[in-house]
A and B are shown apart, each in its own frame.
Chain A
Amino acid sequence: MSVAVMRIYALG
């Protein structure tokens, strides 16, 4: 069961 969501961002 998941408790959170992680997102990876990049720009450039």
Chain B
Amino acid sequence: AGHAWISITNYNGSSLKIGGLTVDDGKSITVGTWGNTDPKGLWYNAEGYAQSTGVYWGDSVSIQRPLRQQDLAVVNQNITTHTSWGLVNNNCSTFASLVWNSVATEDEKVDAGMINLPGNLVSSIKEIGANVSWSLYAEGYRVPFDYPTYYGNPPIRKNPTF
């Protein structure tokens, strides 16, 4: 049960390559891996799509950090090379924590647990919010949906079925 994912918003002043997509200034994408979609694996913008199509969605917890160009390069590398999904420790919370931790400072690193699960990430994100910055922490933060859904790497335009 549950889900975990990443959003990235471009504040560069011009377009940016994020994962395998080109994103306009001021626009966002989400990335996450899914095991209950056809096909399974890495999707772009599936979270906003799921919300828009009325797939059940609860309130998330989330926290943010800035990305420099060199951080984005690391994040992009991780997004484009982790496109598969597996139930045990290759699931949505594995992917989200891997991408986040690839650039996070030590005190910002999340822990999805021995068996990676979204519920463990919820606790970890709350803890970072308390320890590092409540101002960067949010509950029920809006899920961006500025672009349609894409699957895999290189990204192929298609819609998931849940």
Contact = CB atoms under 8 A, between A and B. Distances in A.
Interface of A: 1-12
Q: Interface extent on B, as a size class? A: 35 or more
Q: Report whether over half of chain A's contact residues are helix, strand or loop; otherwise say mixed.
A: strand
A3 B10 contact: yes
A8 B4 contact: yes
Interface string B111-124: 00000011101100
Given A7-B64, A7-B141, A12 B11 contact: no
Contact of B16 (A3, A10, A11, A12): A3
Interface of B: 1-12, 16, 18, 47, 57-69, 71-72, 75, 93, 96-97, 99-100, 103, 110, 117-119, 121-122, 125, 141, 143
A10 B66 contact: no
Q: Report whether over half of chain B's contact residues are helix, strand or loop; otherwise say mixed.
A: mixed
Contacts of A10: 2-4, 60-62, 93, 96, 118-119, 121-122, 125
A6 B65 CA distance: 6
A11 B61 contact: yes
